[in-house]
Structures are given as C-alpha cells and as structure tokens.
Amino acid sequence: MSERSVQLVGGSTYIVSLPKDWAQRHKIGARSKVLVVETPSGSLVISPVLKKPRKIEIDVKDDPELAFKLLTAAYLNGYDHIVITSEEKLSEQTRLAVRKCVRRLMGLEVVRENSTSIEVELAAEPKVVSIENGLKRMSSLVITTLQLGLSPKPSLSVDTLNEMDEDADRLNLMYSRRLRQALVEPAELAKLGLDTAHAFDTLTVFKFLERCVDHSVAAVKIWLNSNHTKTEAERLSQTISSTSEILKHAVDSFISKDAELATNVSKRRVELRNIVFSMLDSQSVYTSETLLMYHLGRIADYAADIAELVLDEGYGFIK
C-alpha cells in the first residue's frame, strides 16, 4: 500500500498515477482500460478489465466423489472452462457423477469428452435475480415445504420434495458463485451494491437457508412415513407456524438491516427451543414426532444465526 498525490490538470481533471509494478503485472499500458468503482464505503477501487474466461484442468483420478466435489469447487470459484481429466480411463460412474453435478450448476454444459477427459463450459452466465429476491425465494422454499408437507393431508410427494431440495441446491450454488466472484472482483461487488462484510454475510445466509431446506424436507419425509393422528397434526400446527414466522422475520431483518426485528427473532427462537426441548425431555423414546420437532428446532436455530449476523454488523446502533 502506498500514498499517492492527486494532481489537478486543466482545472477540472484529477489524476493519480498507477503503481508501475501493478501495471506491468496486469499488462496495463497506454490506452489500456481499467475499471474504476466506488464502493458503498466511499472508496475507489481500480482493477484491470478481465477479458479471457478462466480455465482450469482437474485430475480427478477416476474418483466419482472427487470429480463431483472438485467440479463444484471450480464452478464456485468462477471458472468458465473446466476440464475433468484422469490418467486412467474415466469410468461410467465418474461420467455419471460429472453429469449429475453439471445438472445442478446453472449455466454449465458438457461440450467435449473422450476416454480420459470431459470438458465443461459455462454456456452462458446464469441470469441472477436480485440478492433480495434470491433470499426470499430460498426462505419461501422452506416455508412452503413446511406448510404443504406438515398438514393432516400433506400435498407434497417425495418426488416433489426432492425437486424442491434440488432447486435450493441450484439457487445456493448460483448465488454463491456470484458472491464469491464479488468478493475478489471489486466491480462485481459494486454491481451488487454490497460492501465486503455484507457480501460475506450474504454468502453465509444463503448457506444457512439451503440447510433449512434440507431440514424442512427431512421433516416432511418423516411425517409422510408416520402414522400420525389428527391430534398430533393439530399440536404440530402452532410449532410450524412459529418456525415459519421466525425464519421469515430473520430474512426480512437481514434484507432491511432491521436490528429490532432481528432481536425479536432471537427471543422467539428461545421460546420455540424451550417448547422443543420440553417435548424431547418428556419422552424416553424418540418417536417420529420428536425427530420432526428436532428438524423444526434446527430451522429456528439457523433463523437465529441469520438474525445474529444483523446484530453483529451493528445495524441500528452503529452510524
């Protein structure tokens, strides 16, 4: 880091020189273009214009699980051209794992393959709706799953639950890719209208919501496989309503940066957890209902974690 003097040219143009080492490293010369971005904090960030798509080659050693994980990691880290390779012939299991992974990563397509490699490219950068709408969409998946699946007459099948779970995975990965790019590329961060700290917290919230979907799907599957009574359904109804409301308020508090609403979420979560633990303590053997209550309690925990991020950022008392 270095201090540089501002020069005034022609009475209206302000000029600051670029560090020579930086300019040479990024091949910046006369007539080169750079991006100049003002961040929400008021700082100006200068970065080179990125022209080439990012490419990476990954040796997966013909391991299906490794192929799945490394392809996902490459996507999240902003690579546009990913080559899956192996010294040995790629097995059918590894090829299936790659295709399964590509289906959950928006924008990716298999473009070429041979006996020892599969090439995957980003055909088009997925159109990302606003961060606010993405957060609301993720939370609505949780709430809809609970309300339609945990009722006296559930209207969700296992197939539909699996599709909703996959939708949440795709949304989380798509937004995670965009937010990760924003954390290392100032121009992307400015486009989203976020500072670095809030971008990191937003990335965390998407992950929390994806886990909430997992818990809601698990809860409904338990409910579908149990011989529940009308009394159990009625007893569960209030807990479902409270859990849904707590999660909605948590996401709303994060979007609106409302510390008062976030504080209320934390209080509501304690009340709900007391109900859940009271029920668990009253039974010597875990039943399907107690396992279901555990999943609802975990959703409330994640909601409280989201609210805590709002409070940690100091909204409401730090100016």
Which candidate, 110, 104, 126, 141, places its Cα nearest to that of 178?
A: 126
Which residues 6+ apart lie within 8 Å of 78 measured at CB? 54, 177, 180, 181, 184
Q: Give the pLDDT score at 53.
A: 66
Beta-bridge partner residues of 14:
8
Q: Give the pLDDT score at 225.
A: 86
Does the pTM of the predicted model rise above 0.85? no
What span, in angstroms and rounded, lies between the C-alpha atoms of 229 and 223? Answer: 11
> Is residue 105 within 8 Å of residue 72, measured between CB atoms?
yes
For the chain, the domains span: 7-48, 55-122, 131-312
Q: Give the pLDDT score at 33.
A: 82
Q: Give the pLDDT score at 213.
A: 97
Q: Give the pLDDT score at 126.
A: 66
Q: Give the pLDDT score at 128.
A: 63
Q: Give the pLDDT score at 318.
A: 47
The architecture (CATH level 2) of 55-122 comes to: 2-Layer Sandwich (3.30)
pLDDT along the chain (319 residues), means of 10: 80 84 84 77 74 82 94 92 92 94 92 93 76 94 92 86 93 93 81 86 96 96 81 78 94 94 92 75 66 90 95 65
Q: Give the pLDDT score at 57.
A: 94
Burial class (CB in 10 A: 0-12, 13-18, 19+), 31: exposed
Match domain 131-312 to its CATH number in 1.20.120.160, 3.80.10.10, 3.30.1330.40, 1.20.58.220: 1.20.58.220
**In this structure, are strands 13-15 and 7-9 parallel, antiparallel, or unpaired?**
antiparallel
User: How big is the CA angle at 102 (ends 97 and 104), to the nearest 5 degrees?
Assistant: 105
Q: Give the pLDDT score at 20.
A: 85
Q: Give the pLDDT score at 319.
A: 45
Neighbours of 319 (CB within 10 A): 4
How far CA 300 is from CA of 79, 150, 209, 229, 297, in Å, comes to 35, 16, 11, 25, 5
Beta-bridge partner residues of 82:
56, 120
What span, in angstroms and rounded, lies between the C-alpha atoms of 52 and 47? Answer: 15
Q: Which ranges constitute the DSSP H helices of the chain?
A: 20-25, 64-76, 92-104, 131-149, 158-184, 186-192, 196-224, 230-256, 259-281, 288-312
Q: Give the pLDDT score at 285.
A: 54
Q: Give the pLDDT score at 315.
A: 61
